Structure 1
Amino acid sequence: MDEPDNKFEELKGLWETCQSQDDQKQALITSLFSHVQNLNEQLKEVKRELKHQKGTNEYFLDKNEKAESTISTLVHEKERHGFAVVLIDGDCMPFKDDLVKDGAQGGRQAAHNLKQAVKEQLDATPDAKLSHLQVLVRVYANLRGLDRVYRDLGVLPPHSSLDDFVRGFNMADAGFDFVDAGNGKECSDEKVRAMFRLHVDDVHCRRVFFGGSADNGYARLLGQHVQDAAVCGRVTLLEGPPFAHELADIKDRFRVARMEGVFRQDKLPTVKRRVSFHVTPPTTPAISFASVIAKPASPVSCNGSESSSSGSIATSATTTTTTTTTTLKPGGSWAVVRKNAADQRVDTHLDYAQADFQQLKQRRLCNNFHLLGECYYPTCHYGHGDRLRADKRTALLAVSRLSPCPRGLRCTEPRCIYGHRCSRGDCSSPSCVFPREMHGVDVKTV
């Protein structure tokens, strides 16, 4: 009886084994289906993302192609309309005597020589496209004054005038203009400055040839660009008469070209760049520095109007110690720069109210406008409005002197509004804006 029982148990064990294996197969198949379903869902999600990415890529590729096409068109238009401009201050950059003497023919020859010299400068650059630029020339001068000077020098005979030369120059090329700037105060300078600012910001203007080598006033115009390599690379300074000392200090930051076949290599002896006017002698022995920085009495402006100026300074009960005064030279020019025994610049002592000084420190005014009467920065963010009174300008000059002069102790600019020594006698601050050599300067003048 034991043998059938054993057989039964054996068969039962085999059945249970088979049943267990079937359960494992079922679980495996169920797991496989679940995994496949998950993979299928992931695949659908990836396909959706891929479709979205593909659409995004196509959008940006299309946008990039359009942008490149637009840029290419703009570059082409920029090159097609590109030009080089030549700006000449004819008062301080006079044409050669023999050209002027030859009248209209000399004017045409001067225009031809100038254009040829500019073309040679453009051809010498690595950029071959520059050689095809249109050349525009703008010359600004006091024609009446120049005519008189050339007559006094004997360059122009009695029966002719400078108008003949100008007419020939203008007729030589449609892009050449010799313009009478008028005989007002700094009319030529103002027009040259305005044209320079206009063209240096014009993307179509590829090169600026600047002719004003004998006028220190242009150092401030050009000096604001000496740290801009892009502008310096586009500007070429033309040298006729030797560079004025302030321009000589910065000329190495630009290209320099001499055009000996066009311009004189020295100044005209008696060209008057400013309209002369008479300054009535003061009733007191001297006037304060604040009166000096006021505009001279009734200068003639470019539009023929006259501007009034104050010849006195208001007194204040809260002023500082007695001032070292600065006198105004005849003709309305600035006083001679004071030097010590070491040939270092010595700032004049100023008499002003401390309350004004502290107030003006907080106002962020344009020093150039209020002290010098003119601001050359078209995007100046400092305050302009009505110019300060003379006594206020003295306090503002003291504020301006808190900034060191970039020319240092060798500065010879009479109208300089910056400081040439640290006003704190015992200054030992490592963060002082004044360099070491501007501390402890001997203020005794010689």
Structure 2
Amino acid sequence: MLSDPDIERAASQLADYRTNNALPDILDKYSALLEGYRRLKSDYEEERDAREKYKQMARGQERNPFVLVLVDGDGYVFHESLLSKGADGGSHAAQLLHESIKASLQLKGLEHCQVMVRIYANLAGLSKTLHKVGLAGTERRSLAPFVASFNRSYGLAEFVDAGDLKENADFKLRAMMNLWAENTQCKHIYFAACHDVGYISDLVPYMGNYGRFTLINTPGVKFHDEFTKLDLGIEELPGVFRAASGGAPTWSLGDQAPTRTDGQKAVCRFHSSGRCKYGKACKNLHIEDATNSKATWRSTTNDPQSAAGGSLQEPRRRTPPLFNMRSDVATDFMNGYSAHATSLLAGLDVLALPKKGNIPEGQVAVNKNGFRLDPYIPPSGLEILSRLKAHISRQRVCNNFHLNGFCEAGDHCGYDHGPLEEGFKQALESLARSMPCGKRGACRNAACTCGHVCQNGDCKHRGGNGYCKLSPQSHSEELAVARYVPATNDPPHNRQSSSARASTAASTTDEDDVPTMTTRAALGEEEEQGISSRKSSGKLIELDSIKSTMST
């Protein structure tokens, strides 16, 4: 049996154990740890689910990327060469617009994106305006066949009639831009409404967002200076919208003579040139030339007798300027015979040219007259032109090597055979095709890099301002392929020999101190009168012709 001291010692130990027992604390901490773990697990599962949903959403947004092309159709009017074709012109307009945007996307690294086009316009008002210049019929919505063909040609292209009320097109355009501007599936927006400063406030939030917005400029309308302050990309789409001569007088639709109706007299074609032999006895109307025509229309409007007799009257309401025209084409329209201008435009359907991949190897394409046809070259933008000029200012390039894959001079060639940036080859081919081939349509050399037919969208022969070196026959031939004929291995027939071409350069420059651009393609025809030229080892090419050619 324990002694009393042992009992006291045991009791003291028991008291100490009860005082220092940590097990309850350990159990409480363990319980709290389990509760914290449960909360962390719940948060983790929620975060994991949210992450998975985000990944699925991101995959969905990247699945169908697209770019949006917004066009105010009341200000940006399609080219006459397209409008004059009626329903067929609608499909060609959609195709040309689509190819121009695709060419621009290649430079932005967005060639994988689809192109969604939305054009909004007052169709009735636009039809009426274009009817006055002979580009539309007399019906209230005479452009309807053109629009229907445009909409059928490409699933994501829509030409929408916004209605007759004022600002309807503006309202629709703003709504579409605000809807897609922050959408991640929409990778880029091309904005073609820079004739109206009312859109400035809508674009201000995106100022400086060069990678998101591109403004479309066209010489046919005034590009307001306020848009340049937005620090956004600016590009042109040559050949798509109406382009006007920079130096030609502006022709406003509100100042022109209205077209005649069935009850009015025809316009005498010979009076303006002083060749009408009937004088006042002529049964047709005698209209003054373009410089005096406005006064003539106003005088006939104020004359009740002339108005009753069916003479031309000024419209009741002045229509805002829609586009400019070259003075010679405008004169044709005002003298009542627009067929001359439209026939030239209709014959220059470059979209009918064969695609390079469709031409069989060892053959060349010809039309029904046996005239040599070049492969279609998609238009190149001004951005690629600037980069190409900068490249050539450092090192001149060899056309034969880059376009045909070989060079007769080989290692002795004085021009660059190094790789070109993406897009340069297409622009270089456009430049080479602006040089006429000496054999013209009779050329059968598949390796010939010179031009046989005109593909310049701003060519002076189709109402533009670009200088073109190709012969008149190159502008009048049909561009539809009739057949493919065997090619020859003859050297290109220019006015220089092969050895001369290997050592001869044609340089390009302009007034703005543009870097020299050298091409080994030789010129086949002399410069036209009035064009600055100079002869040395090559010939001087006007920069305007290069710009218009390379952007076509």
What TM-score bracket applies, with the shorter chain setting the length? 0.3 to 0.5
The TM-score, its normalising length taken from structure 2, stands at 0.39
Larger of the two Rg values belongs to structure: 1
The TM-score, its normalising length taken from structure 1, stands at 0.47
